[in-house]
Amino acid sequence: MAFALACPLQETVNTSPNKNEVPFELIRGFVIEFAGSVGGLEGLRFILDTGANCSVVDRRIAERLGIRLHPAKLFDFDRTTIASEGTFPEVRFGPVILKDVTLRSTELHRLSSFAKGADAIIGTDLLSLVNLAVDYDQNKLFFWPPEQSVSSAKSHGLGLIVQLRIQEQPIEVLLDTGVERLVLFKERLERDVPHLLIGKEEKRVVIGLETPATEVALPGIYLGAEEINAKVLLVKGPEARVLPGIDGYLGVSALNAHRVEFDISGNRLRWR
């Protein structure tokens, strides 16, 4: 899952030092689901999505809370979808406590089959307020304050951007807990990697709900000194003004890591 377009600023942020560990459940091998609350409704199902720069609350939660909604838009991979926007009295997850939060709202199951039954998707507009680690051995999220104070949830920009080398050419992708593998925009990849060598086309698939993709073997992919051996999904890229300079999304599961640490506001990543 990957949602773009401008997100509202979130100005009022508090943290609780007693909730820096949060258990999570791994859905379908890569989707991270954990508990949070919106407007005093406890035990809601949140999905952690570092590829989404806008957090989204399911419409049924907004209606239950009586939130007044206004028209808004979301971009998801290759299309812009109609959504709504409203101000929620409170959002809590881990140690983060936000008051009067302006968030997008839509029927989450229409965005992705992975979001069916979820109550909210927490993107980098809110995740940039803290540093976090995903520990896959313990199935826990760990939160701690960023090294520098974050004045607003918009300061991170698009999200956590990492540089890959594909066949000796550098490209930039967003690190995304909401996709399973490496998803690349075909037209931008061909532009940024001259004489691109693509291996055998494996099969045609659909990601999300209706985004067609082609699974291919793509040799020579490196993150730092580490080679990434994974099947790549090629999709049609967005228009030039959306995610400028970004060639796709790297699913965290492609790292085969035991623990991944995110500093989204500082654009730093560590894993082991």
Whole-structure pTM value: 0.88
Q: 161-271 belongs to which homologous superfamily?
A: Acid Proteases (2.40.70.10)
Q: What is the pLDDT of residues 114-148, one digit of tens each?
A: 888 999 999 999 999 999 999 999 999 999 988 76
**Greatest pairwise CA separation for the chain in angstroms:** 55
Do 16 and 99 contact (CB within 8 A), yes or no? no
List the chain domain ranges. Answer: 3-144, 161-271
Q: Computed from CA positions of residues 201, 204, 207, 210, in that sequence, does the dihedral angle turn out positive or negative?
A: positive
- CA separation for the pair 88, 127 (Å, rounded): 17
CA distance 134 to 46: 15
Could you check whether 3-144 and 161-271 share the same CATH topology?
A: yes
Across 210-249, b (16+ Cβ under 10 Å) vs e yields ebebebbebeebebeeeebebebbbbebbeeeebeebbbb
CATH class of 3-144: mainly beta
**Per-residue model confidence (pLDDT) at position 126:** 94
Query: For residues 89 and 187, what is the distance between their CA atoms, to the nearest angstrom?
Result: 42
Task: Give the residue, 7 or 26, on which the prediction is more confident.
Answer: 26
